[in-house]
Amino acid sequence: MIIQLKKDIQPNQRLDLEQGLNQLKIEFYPVVTQMGTYFICTPKQEFDIRKIGYFKGISDVHRVTGNHKMVSNKWKVENTIIDCGDGVLIGDNNLAVMAGPCSIESEEQINDTVESLIKNGVRIMRGGVYKPRTSPYSFRGLGMEGLKMFYEACNKNGIKIITEVMESGQIEDMMPYVDIFQVGARNAQNFNLLEALGEIDKPVLLKRGISGTIDELLYSAEYVFKSGNEKLILCERGIRTFESAYRNTLDLNAVPILKEKSHLPVVVDPSHGIGIRKHVIQMALASAAVGADGLLIETHKTPEKAATDGQQTLSFKEFDELMLKLKQLKTIL
Ligand code: PEP
Ligand code: MN
């Protein structure tokens, strides 16, 4: 059960409610976000919801059965739209494309990418400056220096930035330069990081864990929400299965299932999802066809020379082709 408090609830009304819940032996967790205040209740046994409804200072009481509460659409029926500022929206029924290199490499690379995005009307650029790498000897990203360069070029062109944050200690420094914080697959269950991202007022894109279930992805989102941040985007990026013909198994089933369970926008990353450049366009189109709210795509002027993930990165020409095909697809969806 979720009890939504009125914005102007009086301290004595809140106390009455808390005492009432205690008397009814209903455990509750107060949640304060940038949008409102809620009490999340996990009653051990069935009880009459009307016993709560008469308390003053409540705007709504929602019966939410099941494991997920705040991220569930059982209480929030309308879909969440993420506002990244300057008219850049995710989840508004248009496909939000976020594209750019796996890793930020140089000023020239950023400018080339910005040009390719502008040409295609894309408003969000991706690019990692802190890279989680399987081998500690691989390129790990340009860090804050790279992020500042990234910001410089994007800011003057009205392009928003999505980039990965790997640990809570990085958030504060990154904050002025980032529009959407990405939590990578390897950090999907880093609960300290998730809670720290709950304390900021910026959108967070959560990737599904490498072997994560849909349920676990929703729980990760619940962590951020419960810590105070409602601006969440879910991302399917493929999971590890016994199949070895491609990098990951892009689970497009997750899109309708997540959208059936949650009010949060769902984005697909077909680049990591299949990991093979020549198949990324098809899987991106399939993602759009299955109802994704957005796409996260790796692009590079010269993918074969990319510092990371070149094998799954589209050239700018291939990206143009994808954008054209997405437009054609939209006419029949
Ligand atoms: C990335 O987006 O470049 C990345 C590292 O993704 P993931 O966390 O899905 O592997
Ligand atoms: Mn990558």
Q: 156: domain CATH number?
A: 3.20.20.70
Quick check: is 70 in a domain?
A: no
CA of 293 relative to ligand 2 center, distance in Å? 20
Is 91 found in the same domain as 52?
no
CA of 209 relative to ligand 2 center, distance in Å? 14
Is 123 found in the same domain as 51?
no
Is 182 found in the same domain as 57?
no
Residue 269 · residue 252 · CB < 8 Å: no
Q: Choose among 184, 133, 131, 128: nearest CA to 161.
A: 128
CA of 182 relative to ligand 1 center, distance in Å? 9
Rounded Cα–Cα distance for residues 198 and 196 (Å): 5
Closest CA to ligand 1's atom 6 = 184
Is 176 found in the same domain as 88?
yes
Is 239 found in the same domain as 110?
yes
Phi, psi of 132 (to 5 degrees): -75, 120
- Domain boundary (34, 62, 90) is at 62
Quick check: is 200 in a domain?
A: yes
Is 105 found in the same domain as 12?
no
Quick check: is 68 in a domain?
A: no
Closest CA to ligand 1's atom 3 = 102
Name residues contacting ligand 1 (CB within 6 A).
102, 128, 132, 184-186, 207, 237, 272
Residue 153 · residue 106 · CB < 8 Å: no
Closest CA to ligand 1's atom 9 = 185
Is 88 found in the same domain as 34?
no
Identify the pLDDT of residue 305: 98
CA of 245 relative to ligand 1 center, distance in Å? 19
Is 111 found in the same domain as 26?
no
Identify the pLDDT of residue 294: 98
Is 278 found in the same domain as 326?
yes
Quick check: is 163 in a domain?
A: yes
Identify the pLDDT of residue 142: 97
Identify the pLDDT of residue 65: 85
Phi, psi of 123 (to 5 degrees): -105, -5
Domains: count for the chain: 2
Quick check: is 75 in a domain?
A: no
The per-residue DSSP string of 193-232 comes to: HHHHHHTSSS-EEEEPPTT--HHHHHHHHHHHHHTT---E
Query: Which residues of the chain carry a pLDDT beneath 70?
Result: none
Q: Which residue has the tokens 């994560």?
A: 212
What is the model's pTM? Answer: 0.97
Q: Which domain holds residue 17?
A: 2-62
CA of 269 relative to ligand 2 center, distance in Å? 10
CA of 37 relative to ligand 1 center, distance in Å? 33
CATH number at residue 15: 3.30.70
Quick check: is 73 in a domain?
A: no
Quick check: is 71 in a domain?
A: no
Query: Which of the listed residues 207, 251, 267 should we mutate to test ligand 1's pocket, taking the one with most ligand atoms within 8 A of CB?
Result: 207
Rounded Cα–Cα distance for residues 207 and 188 (Å): 6
Is 143 found in the same domain as 28?
no
Is 124 found in the same domain as 271?
yes
- Domain boundary (62, 90, 106) is at 62
Identify the pLDDT of residue 11: 97
Query: Which of the listed residues 237, 240, 295 should we mutate to test ligand 1's pocket, taking the one with most ligand atoms within 8 A of CB?
Result: 237
Q: Residue 310 CA: which ligand is closest?
A: 2
- The string of pLDDT tens digits covering residues 131-178 is 999 999 999 999 999 999 999 999 999 999 999 999 999 999 999 999
Angle of the 143-155 helix axis to the 107-119 helix axis, nearest 10: 40
Is 227 found in the same domain as 184?
yes
Closest atom of ligand 1 relative to the 269 alpha carbon: 9
Tell me how far CA of residue 8 lies from CA of 11, 12, 331, in angstroms: 9, 12, 46
Closest atom of ligand 1 relative to the 102 alpha carbon: 3
Quick check: is 67 in a domain?
A: no
